Amino acid sequence: MGMRENGIINDASNADAGIRFELQAIARADNLSVYGYEFLYRGKVWPGSVAEWMAVDRAVLRYLAQVDEGGGKPCFINLSHESVLTTEETAFAAACARNDIRFEMSEAAAEKLLFDQVCEKVNRLSSLGMQFAIDDFGAGLDGSRRLYALDSVAAIKVDRGLLMSAADRPQAARMLEASVASWKSAGITTVAEGVESAELLAFAQRVGFELLQGWHVDTIVPPKQAFISRAFF
């Protein structure tokens, strides 16, 4: 059972080790070798508020500013809108100086002012050389809205639901294949998320995705574990 101290989530059963994160492998579609990793929170207590998620995001960035966790491979980090807005540019820069990072722009809904503010911050950070990915394209906040509001997009990660729908419908599959080809021609890396079966893996490869991620990929390229000390929170 986890516990909270001053709003920080800790694993009481393994307090000295810190908070557990899974580094889920993102594999290349052509040979299923490891391209990079996504940090996934695996603490025993799920953050219950925006403030707690912001604390998690800040801890991950502080950790990555000191630890070469990716071993030279890209690390994908999902940040809330609030974290993007409130985190200082120096914190982003420090993490990027130590690791090759793709910050993921959340699919969570945002009213216009918040959305515009987040896009302005992302564009400013991109102009400084930091790379951003659109997470869960096809779910939540419209992916096209994010795509066209950003000056530079490093990667598009297509949501599992969209991938499954396209796999079941030939016309949708052709439309997705055209979109993937268009993004690749624009220099945007394409990632199929939620690849949870051999059939979805084969479909994502056939459509032309460059990278794959999901439970089935985990059986081929097992995830790594990381523990972030409470000192980073």
Q: What is the pLDDT of residues 9-41, one digit of tens each?
A: 444 445 467 999 999 999 999 999 999 999 999
Strands (E), 14-95: 19-28, 34-41, 75-79
Q: Which two tokens stand for residue 85?
A: 């807005």
**According to the model, what pLDDT value does residue 16 have?**
60
**According to the model, what pLDDT value does residue 141 have?**
62
Q: What is the pTM of this model?
A: 0.90
- Report domain extents, the chain: 3-232
Using CA atoms, how far apart are residues 216 and 204, in angstroms rounded to an integer? Answer: 12
How is domain 3-232 classified at the architecture level of CATH? Answer: Alpha-Beta Barrel (3.20)
Is residue 191 helix, strand or coil? strand
Using CA atoms, how far apart are residues 137 and 193, in angstroms rounded to an integer? Answer: 9
Q: What is the pLDDT of residues 73-95, one digit of tens each?
A: 999 999 999 999 999 999 999 99
Residues linked to residue 41 through DSSP beta bridges, in sequence order? 21
